[in-house]
Amino acid sequence: MNTIIQNILVFIAVALAIWFLLHKYGVLPKKKTSGSKACGQDDCGCH
């Protein structure tokens, strides 16, 4: 029983680490907030 719990915890830790690295290096798209219009209508990338 302990082996099953240990394997589940390792799988969750590895999945979180991969998710973090993909977000850090920009592989996964980031959520865009449509509420902020500080740069105008075009996406100038100033923020």
Question: Tens digits of per-residue pLDDT, 10-47?
Answer: 999 999 999 999 888 887 776 665 655 556 666 666 65
**Residue 38 in domain:** no
Whether residue 35 lies inside any domain: the answer is: no
Q: Is residue 11 part of a domain?
A: yes
pLDDT of residue 25: 86
The b-or-e profile of 2-31 (16+ CB within 10 A means b, else e) is: eeeeeeeeeeeeeeeeeeeeeeeeeeeeee
Q: How many structural domains are present in the chain?
A: 1
Answer yes or no: is 8 within a domain. yes
Q: What is the pLDDT of residue 36?
A: 54
Q: What is the pLDDT of residue 18?
A: 94
pLDDT for res 41: 65
- Tell me, yes or no, whether 16 lies in a domain: yes
pLDDT confidence of residue 46:
65
